[in-house]
Structure 1
Amino acid sequence: MLALRSRLTRALTARRLAPQVCSSFATGPRQNDGTFYELHTYYLKPSKMNEFLENVKKKIHLRTAHSELVGFWSVEFGGRMNTVFHIWKYDNFAHRATVQKALAKDKEWQEQFLIPNLALIDRQEFEIAYLVPWCKIEKPPKEGVYELATFQMKPGGPALWGNAFKRAVNAHVDLGYTKVVGVFHTEYGALNRVHVLWWNESADSRAAGRHLSHEDPRVVAAVRESVNYLESQQNKLLIPASFSPLK
């Protein structure tokens, strides 16, 4: 018994003295604020894109009466054709459950919005994500184009790669090469995935800023550190819909 107690004491002491891996990426508002975002990707049937967008434009008010739409875009480059991407905001999971129950009882929304549009959709993907603690949704100064950069990081979570990723994002923003709208860390969906939503005045200004940043040693150093934890990356150029809150 004394030997067992001695081993337990040594183990607990070693645990207290061992260096703790932590990251500001994984602490702060995310733990204290239940707000999360639902990221929707809809793959539409060929030739149905215009019809779908027109339907949504006319009837989106039936859906936004229940919860907040952050933004709605069509994918221009970097993904499958006839694809739309949209983001919805919820206070917490109880709020989302309440919204879903209300929608299930909303006959007008079902008959005029849901049923007509379902016939135009080939496939849907949903993800639940939180904003990282050092970021909040930033509304762009004027209309432009958006870029959704999706980073699949190595297993280990933000405690492993969070600080390096933060420095890479901030290097682009702080040096004026682009503007960040939001940085989302996936909670449900593929884990260790981060979506960065960028804004630029145009596709050409985005290209110019990207070329300049590649020649800036400060950005290069920050990115080089972050890519040590990167498994894959995909970029999509997004065009905001006329009814999107984020233009």
Structure 2
Amino acid sequence: MFLQVCSSFATGPRQYDGTFYEFRTYCVKPSKMNEFLENVKKNIHLQTAHSELVGSWSVEFGGRIDKVFHIWKYDNFAQQTEVRKALANDKEWREQLLIPILGLTDKQESEITYLVPWCKLEKPPKEGVYELVTFQMKPGGPALWGDAFRRAINAHVDLGYSKLVGVFHTEYGALNRVHVLWWNASADSRAAGRHQSHEDPRVVAAVRESVNYLVSQQNMLLIPTSYPPLE
């Protein structure tokens, strides 16, 4: 289910097999989060019958706490088109999942991303918490900042400060944006690892190079919903 993706990281997002991931963000209306999660938990099977849900999380810290993230995997754009056609003709999906979600959310956002070629999507070893770090990089694409960014990520991974789930860069959405999804056993273990990495000269050196290409960064602590395949 979790595949090594082969692509060129030299000039921009390209993948020979076409596999991509949709980051679907739901901004849930205030006071409606529990209702939203219960409805999706009950009816998500109506959509996973057509496409693969990689995982789902709600925001605990670091952003709007009424956000829910879904990551969907598609083999190519043709498959995504067929899924949309099938869902549009699925009365049960429309009535039990789509229409209630529309009534419980203020807006939805979608980004199409590719998994970078130097990592594979990993399944966490057990239950825990996740951190989604979003980097807005300088214009120029991976040809400019790709190697330095890779070294910064690998410094944390190789030294065991956090477990990497996946690194995704955008194809549709804000370009030069990279989402890095990390897993930790707990928020406290993540905090401890973060503090230690800040004092590790090997990490500091790698990050110092990468930040030369950085515009902005946002960190969010995520809690998995009760229906995530990653768990």
TM-score range, shorter-chain basis? over 0.9
Would the aligned equivalents of 2:133 and 2:180 in 1 still touch at CA under 8 Å? yes
Out of 183, 186, 196, the position equivalent to 1:199 is: 183
* Matched residue, 1:55: 39
The separation in 2 between residues aligned to 1:232 and 1:124, in whole angstroms, is 22
Alignment of 1:1-247 (within 5 A): 25-26=9-10, 30-247=14-231
Residue 28 of structure 1 and its aligned partner are, at CA, apart by 11
Would the aligned equivalents of 1:26 and 1:132 in 2 still touch at CA under 8 Å? no
TM-score, length-scaled by structure 1: 0.89
Residue 116 of structure 1 and its aligned partner are, at CA, apart by 1.2
Deviates more, 1:28-37 or 1:49-58: 28-37
The separation in 1 between residues aligned to 2:185 and 2:11, in whole angstroms, is 33
Residue 117 of structure 1 and its aligned partner are, at CA, apart by 1.5
The separation in 2 between residues aligned to 1:124 and 1:236, in whole angstroms, is 18
- Cα 1:220/1:71, change in 2 over 3 Å: same
Alignment-mate amino acid for residue 178 of structure 2: V
Q: Name stretches of at least 5 consecutive residues in structure 2 with no aligned partner.
A: 1-7
- RMSD of Structure 2 on Structure 1 (CA): 1.5
Q: How many residues align?
A: 225
- Cα 1:204/1:95, change in 2 over 3 Å: same
Report the structure number with the largest CA radius of gyration.
1
TM-score, length-scaled by structure 2: 0.95
Alignment-mate amino acid for residue 75 of structure 1: V
Alignment-mate amino acid for residue 129 of structure 2: V
Residue 54 of structure 1 and its aligned partner are, at CA, apart by 0.3
The separation in 2 between residues aligned to 1:217 and 1:27, in whole angstroms, is 31
* Matched residue, 1:16: none
The separation in 2 between residues aligned to 1:107 and 1:26, in whole angstroms, is 44
Show CA shifts across 1:143-173 (max 9, x none).
Answer: 1000000000000000000000000000000
Residue 111 of structure 1 and its aligned partner are, at CA, apart by 0.6
SS in 2 for 1:97: helix
Alignment-mate amino acid for residue 219 of structure 1: V
The separation in 2 between residues aligned to 1:174 and 1:27, in whole angstroms, is 26
Alignment-mate amino acid for residue 240 of structure 1: P
Alignment-mate amino acid for residue 45 of structure 1: K
Alignment-mate amino acid for residue 17 of structure 2: D
The separation in 1 between residues aligned to 2:194 and 2:58, in whole angstroms, is 22
The separation in 2 between residues aligned to 1:72 and 1:94, in whole angstroms, is 24
The separation in 2 between residues aligned to 1:110 and 1:220, in whole angstroms, is 50
The separation in 2 between residues aligned to 1:53 and 1:227, in whole angstroms, is 37
**Higher helix fraction (1 or 2):** 1
Identity, % of aligned pairs?
A: 82
Q: Name stretches of at least 5 consecutive residues in structure 1 with no aligned partner.
A: 1-23
Alignment-mate amino acid for residue 137 of structure 1: L
